[in-house]
C-alpha cells in the first residue's frame, strides 16, 4: 500500500507524517537521523536548527529544542514517522478574543471599585452589581 506524505500546519510547527524515505526525500531529515538508527535514540530524536543532535541524558531539556528551524522526529507505527518542524509563531492565541472581552468588562469595573476610598464599598455585592451592569452594557 502506497501512502503519501501528510502535512499539517499549526501555529508553532509544521507536522509531516510519512515513511523514512518519504521524509528524507522531501529534505526534512537525513536517513541517518531517524530514531533507531545507529547513534540515535530509539523513539524520538531532536534536531536543533543548526542540524546538530543534542547529546546527554534523554530527559535533558534544551532551550533551543523548539527554536524556529528545530525538528523533532518521532517513531510511529507501521514504519511511519512524524516530523515536527518548529516555526516562528504565526497564529492568534485561541483565548485572545475571550481575554479581550474579559478585559473590556472587568478592568474598568475593577478600577471603579478599587478607586472608592470606602472599604465597605469594595464588598462582593458591590463588585457583583458592577460586573452585572458592565455585562449588560449599561
Assess whether pLDDT exceeds 80 at residue 129. Answer: no
**Closest C-alpha among 119, 117, 112 to residue 129:** 112
Please report which confidence band the pLDDT of residue 99 belongs to, taking 50, 70 and 90 as the band edges: very low
pLDDT of residue 64: 85
DSSP 8-state symbol, 99: H
More confident residue, 5 or 103: 5
* Least confident among 36-40, 78-82, 129-133: 129-133
44-47, strands of its sheet edge to edge:
6-9, 13-19, 80-86, 71-75, 44-47
pLDDT of residue 123: 58
Q: Which residues, 6 or more positions from 3, have their beta carbon under 8 angstroms from its beta carbon? A: 18, 19, 22, 80
Could you report how far apart the first and last alpha carbons of the chain are, in Å?
Answer: 64
Greatest extent of the chain over all pairs of C-alpha atoms, in Å: 76
Q: Kindly report the average pLDDT of the chain as a whole number.
A: 76
pLDDT of residue 50: 92
Percent of the chain with pLDDT over 70: 62
Compute CA 51 distance to the chain's CA centroid, rounded to the nearest angstrom.
Answer: 21
Amino acid at each position: 500500500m502506497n501512502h503519501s506524505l501528510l502535512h499539517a500546519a499549526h501555529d508553532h510547527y509544521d507536522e509531516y507524517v510519512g515513511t523514512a524515505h518519504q521524509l528524507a526525500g522531501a529534505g526534512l531529515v537525513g536517513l541517518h537521523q531517524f530514531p533507531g538508527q545507529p547513534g540515535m535514540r530509539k523513539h524520538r530524536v531532536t534536531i536543533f536548527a543548526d542540524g546538530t543532535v543534542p547529546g546527554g541524558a534523554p530527559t535533558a531539556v534544551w532551550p533551543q529544542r523548539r527554536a524556529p528551524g528545530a525538528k523533532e522526529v518521532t517513531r510511529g507505527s507501521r514504519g511511519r514517522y512524524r516530523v515536527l518542524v518548529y516555526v516562528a509563531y504565526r497564529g492568534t492565541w485561541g483565548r485572545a478574543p475571550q481575554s479581550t472581552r474579559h478585559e473590556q468588562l472587568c478592568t474598568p469595573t475593577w478600577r471603579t471599585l478599587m478607586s472608592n476610598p470606602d472599604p465597605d464599598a469594595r464588598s462582593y455585592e458591590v463588585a457583583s452589581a458592577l460586573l452585572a451592569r458592565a455585562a449588560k452594557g449599561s
